[in-house]
Chains A and B, each alone.
Chain A
Amino acid sequence: MSIFQMPTNAIKLMTLLFNGVLVSLQIFFLTLLFSLPLGLLTALGRMSSHKWISYPIRLYILIMRGTPLLLQLIFFYFAPFYMLPPGFRFSLPRFTAAIIAFSLNYAAYFAEIYRGGIESIPVGQYEAAAVLGFTRTQTFFKIILPQVVKRILPPISNEVITLVKDTALVQILGISELFRVAKNESSRIFSTTPLFAAGMFYLFLNWIVTKVFEKAEKKLSYYR
């Protein structure tokens, strides 16, 4: 049963999968929206000279990177109910729990990438800026961060590519993203075609991600 022989079925399948893609894309973009800035704050906290800031953040990074994201999804979905005393219990909507888990998890990875980037900037850049009279905030946003962005684009693109594929994990919470839709359809019509098509969707999305990062890297290649 090939999709080429059954155009109407093919269109049905594509529509179905496309709805799943939209859910996956929502998770993808919301996660980036929250985790990229949160990761920067986390990196700054991680580099703080105050141990009461940096130590808890190290623990947070350790837990987020050291346990399965799948487990974290389940945790954020069930924790507000099971870990709070009776009377305070509540459940998060599945989608919200997924976004929280993903954002916190990816922020931890991004934080370490930011930190690597920030620490790779020569101390002379800070010193030149200080002697010129720039404030610390000006120094960070004008001098340091733009150089960091250029250096961390390749590792960030790795994470973003992984994120596209990781969105499939939210099916554990019963969210109908691309992979779950494809898997269900696959069982229903007893064919691997939907799964294969889903694979093509992921590949296509990551082709776009790759192109976007190539473009960004090219744009920042005006200096060394």
Chain B
Amino acid sequence: MQILKVENLYKSFAGSGEVVTDVSFEINEGEVIAVIGPSGSGKSTLLRCLTLLERINHGTIKVAGETMVETTPQGRVVYASEEQLRKIRLRLGMVFQNFNLFPHFSVMRNITEAPIYVRGLSPAEAREEAEKLLAKIGLTDKADAYPYQLSGGQSQRVAIARALAMKPDILFFDEPTSALDPELTGEVLKVIRQLAAERMTMLVVTHEMAFARDVADRVIFMDKGQVVEEGTAEQIFGGPENERTRNFLRNFNANHKLD
């Protein structure tokens, strides 16, 4: 089943002009897509458009067959009704670069609050689900801790659990390990790998090339707001066709051998 369909998406900002230019792609159920590209190429903006944090200027987005937004032949961008958008939002999960945990809630409450007040679970049900998720991310003993007591890696794992607790159809990650000390990236990537093994549908923006190569079914390379190249991990990392992709990967490898 098709979970996400993006067609001819454009997004511009008053200050910076066009940031996402004519992006189209699809994600099917159970697929893991990695989005790579230089900083400033519009990866975060794309994710923010897909999760309704930004409004697009042109294009179509469909989630599990339901239209989130479409553009009339006259060029008018039409979003679904608020009620419809609320339903669509429930299908989308997001993990942010800097976690954005709620500092005044315990780990447990970070995970259970939305299931209780948005999905309508009873506190007991929400707790039970949260306990399973905590076991899965290996943080059962941190249920009563507060975010300031967690390491970056633990925080990000809790953020993943918080997103999973809403049972989304697709999970978006915006550079989930970029804010972490290098020795902490492994524990977060391990959780994402585990989700991939369980066939969770995911779109991961990342600079972890080895990880992308292992985990992603398909890789999208973005530059200057455009999808420059899209293919399987072997195609993109093994023998990219586009000059810009090759340059990016060559520079990336060179920089990362230096440090």
| Chain A residues engaging chain B, CB cutoff 8 angstroms | 122, 124-125, 127-134, 138, 142-143, 146-147, 150, 222-224
Chain B 141-161, CB-CB to A under 8 Å as 1, else 0, gives: 000001110000000000000
B103 lies within 8 A of chain A by Cβ: yes
Bound Cα distance from A124 to B117, whole angstroms: 20
Bound Cα distance from A116 to B98, whole angstroms: 23
Query: Are A124 and B113 within 8 A (Cβ)?
Result: no
A133 with B100, Cβ < 8 A, contacts A222-B146, A224-B148 known: no
Query: Are B96 and A127 within 8 A (Cβ)?
Result: yes
Contact with A223, one of B52, B92, B147 (Cβ below 8 angstroms): B147
Contact with B104, one of A122, A128, A138, A146 (Cβ below 8 angstroms): A146
A131 with B102, Cβ < 8 A, contacts A138-B117, A224-B148 known: no
> Which residues of chain B have C-beta atoms less than 8 A from A223's C-beta?
103-104, 146-148
Name the CB-closest residue of B to A124: B100
B69 lies within 8 A of chain A by Cβ: no
Bound Cα distance from A125 to B93, whole angstroms: 15
Contact with A127, one of B53, B101, B163 (Cβ below 8 angstroms): B53
Closest chain-A Cβ to B254's Cβ sits at a distance in Å of: 33
- The secondary structure that dominates the A interface is helix
Contact with B102, one of A125, A130, A133 (Cβ below 8 angstroms): A125
B80 lies within 8 A of chain A by Cβ: no
A131 with B51, Cβ < 8 A, contacts A124-B96, A142-B113, A223-B104 known: yes
Query: Are A133 and B147 within 8 A (Cβ)?
Result: no
B114 lies within 8 A of chain A by Cβ: yes
Query: Are A130 and B148 within 8 A (Cβ)?
Result: no
B118 lies within 8 A of chain A by Cβ: yes
A133 with B90, Cβ < 8 A, contacts A127-B100, A128-B96, A146-B104 known: yes
Query: Are B53 and A134 within 8 A (Cβ)?
Result: no
B89 lies within 8 A of chain A by Cβ: yes
Chain B 94-138, CB-CB to A under 8 Å as 1, else 0, gives: 101010111110000000011001110000000000000000000
